[in-house]
A and B are shown apart, each in its own frame.
Chain A
């Protein structure tokens, strides 16, 4: 569904992405992991077209994303830190997004209801706490029932109850056969969600394996142990 071939991006001297090739297919749930500054967010932003790559190309359903901006209709994106216009209320932001994107699709307001955002509709975005902001971002990502969900650190800043709600939601969407891409540092919570692991380091993709392969290769059952095993063997 999404194919990135030889994507490279430099920020000044820093190589944020170095010849990245990734293939993501429908029905997969991919965990994008790696140390800080390994290029995870940059890769996600290039897929969304927020960052324009220096070389290489990305296709979405066979169309080069540089020329087909409409593909973003099928993506729900939850940024790492949601930034919203300060003087808009939650209600304004939701209405604006519905106005811009809505129309054909049926709205999926499960998360809006589960996070009880209806009570907060009149609060201005600048007064919100980090967690509430994350809730708004999550609700927006799922609102238009897109075929692809890209979640950048979805549970960072959420309380245990909210992150459990979000996890449940991700699992139900996964069962519908959607492509889900998640980055996270909390590996233990990814265990029962993901099917594939992409491990990045210094802008390069170290490996792309299914969770089963990873388990047999490393002999570890838990994801965090498997990754720790991998990291310690590569460092040596």
Chain B
């Protein structure tokens, strides 16, 4: 397994996109921190950019990378290797390099300007989101044989998680405005890792007061030890479940 991860990683590093992504994150983070005189404000602006960019890049890059590795996968499958090993190595290679890119690009500036629990939470969430979206992308790839269709599905999924989901939630809130929806909202956030990440960071920032009564409920739940444990286990499930399904599917795929 280690050997294949090594080949995947060297291949990704040779591909300059991940390097450009790192540089982009690096420049954005530094400019955000130097634009605002208050580093907390800088962190808030950075948060909004990261929650859009990280899922997008992780998703699209992984999708295209796995499609382009079709030959590599085909070559390995006829060799004495377990299919599970090949697939998990590909996942590990992608997840490691994208997390590393995030850590170097955004993590280091955050650590320089905001070395506290908020900054730390932001780095952890960024890395988790990178891994989650690699896992989701790989599930999309293994389910669709056609490259154009697969990339389309990846873009739609990203749209769903970044924009459509929030729209749906707002719609539900307005439709059922007469009912107390604050507590069910906690359950609803579990269906979107991006929102979960946003809430975890915002609560650490103490701007939850601006979110009204729902914010208070969120604070009461996610602020506790159980809340943190809940959100981390949900994030973890968002990694494990897609990886498990895609591995199972890949095991029986015809090449």
Q: A and B: partners?
A: yes
Interface residues of B in 66-96 (CB under 8 A from A): 69-72, 74-83
Q: Are A51 and B71 in contact (CB under 8 A)?
A: no
Nearest opposing residue in chain A for B74, CB measure: A83
Q: Tell whether B216 is near chain A: CB-to-CB under 8 Å.
A: no
Residue-wise interface mask of B (220-232) relative to A, using a CB-CB cutoff of 8 A (1 in contact, 0 not): 0000000000000
- Minimum distance in angstroms from A135 CB to a CB of chain B: 16
Report how far A85 CA is from B73 CA in the complex, Å.
9
Q: Which residues of A contact B74 (CB under 8 A)?
A: 50, 83
Q: Which residues of B contact A77 (CB under 8 A)?
A: 78
Q: Tell whether A206 is near chain B: CB-to-CB under 8 Å.
A: no
- Minimum distance in angstroms from B157 CB to a CB of chain A: 26
Residue-wise interface mask of B (197-224) relative to A, using a CB-CB cutoff of 8 A (1 in contact, 0 not): 0000000000000000000000000000
Q: Which one, B4, B14, B82, B253, contacts A69 given CB within 8 A?
A: B82
A contact residues, total (Cβ < 8 Å): 26
B contact residues, total (Cβ < 8 Å): 23
Report how far A69 CA is from B77 CA in the complex, Å.
10
Q: Which one, A51, A70, A75, A85, contacts B72 given CB within 8 A?
A: A85
Q: Are A86 and B71 in contact (CB under 8 A)?
A: yes
Q: Tell whether A115 is near chain B: CB-to-CB under 8 Å.
A: no
- Minimum distance in angstroms from B198 CB to a CB of chain A: 38
Report how far A83 CA is from B77 CA in the complex, Å.
12
Q: Which residues of A contact B72 (CB under 8 A)?
A: 84-85
Q: Tell whether B24 is near chain A: CB-to-CB under 8 Å.
A: no
Residue-wise interface mask of B (89-127) relative to A, using a CB-CB cutoff of 8 A (1 in contact, 0 not): 000000000000000000000000000000000000000
Q: Are B80 and A101 in contact (CB under 8 A)?
A: yes
Q: Are B77 and A50 in contact (CB under 8 A)?
A: yes
- Minimum distance in angstroms from A106 CB to a CB of chain B: 17
Q: Which residues of A contact B79 (CB under 8 A)?
A: 72, 97, 100-101
Q: Are A79 and B11 in contact (CB under 8 A)?
A: no
Residue-wise interface mask of A (76-91) relative to B, using a CB-CB cutoff of 8 A (1 in contact, 0 not): 0101000111110000
Q: Are A72 and B75 in contact (CB under 8 A)?
A: no
> When A52-B252, A52-B254 are in contact, do A83 and B78 touch as well, CB less than 8 Å?
no
Q: Tell whether A49 is near chain B: CB-to-CB under 8 Å.
A: yes
Residue-wise interface mask of A (6-21) relative to B, using a CB-CB cutoff of 8 A (1 in contact, 0 not): 0000010000000000
Q: Tell whether A73 is near chain B: CB-to-CB under 8 Å.
A: yes
Q: Which residues of B contact A99 (CB under 8 A)?
A: 3
> When A84-B71, A87-B14 are in contact, do A69 and B81 touch as well, CB less than 8 Å?
yes
Report how far A4 CA is from B82 CA in the complex, Å.
21
Nearest opposing residue in chain B for A82, CB measure: B75
Q: Tell whether B187 is near chain A: CB-to-CB under 8 Å.
A: no
Q: Tell whether A96 is near chain B: CB-to-CB under 8 Å.
A: yes
Q: Which residues of B contact A51 (CB under 8 A)?
A: 254-255
- Minimum distance in angstroms from A232 CB to a CB of chain B: 34
Q: Are B14 and A100 in contact (CB under 8 A)?
A: no
Q: Which one, A45, A72, A79, contacts B80 given CB within 8 A?
A: A72
| A-B CB proximity, top 9 nearest | A72-B80, A83-B71, A73-B80, A51-B254, A85-B72, A50-B255, A77-B78, A52-B252, A69-B82
Where the two chains meet, the residues of A that have a C-beta atom closer than 8 Å to any C-beta of B are 11, 45, 48-52, 69-73, 75, 77, 79, 83-87, 93, 96-97, 99-101
In the complex, 5 of the A-B residue pairs with CB atoms within 8 angstroms, ordered by the A residue number, are A51-B255, A83-B70, A83-B74, A100-B76, A100-B79
List 6 extra interface pairs beyond A52-B253, A99-B3, A100-B79, CB under 8 A.
A48-B78, A50-B254, A85-B69, A85-B75, A96-B7, A97-B79
Where the two chains meet, the residues of B that have a C-beta atom closer than 8 Å to any C-beta of A are 3-4, 7, 11, 14, 69-72, 74-83, 252-255
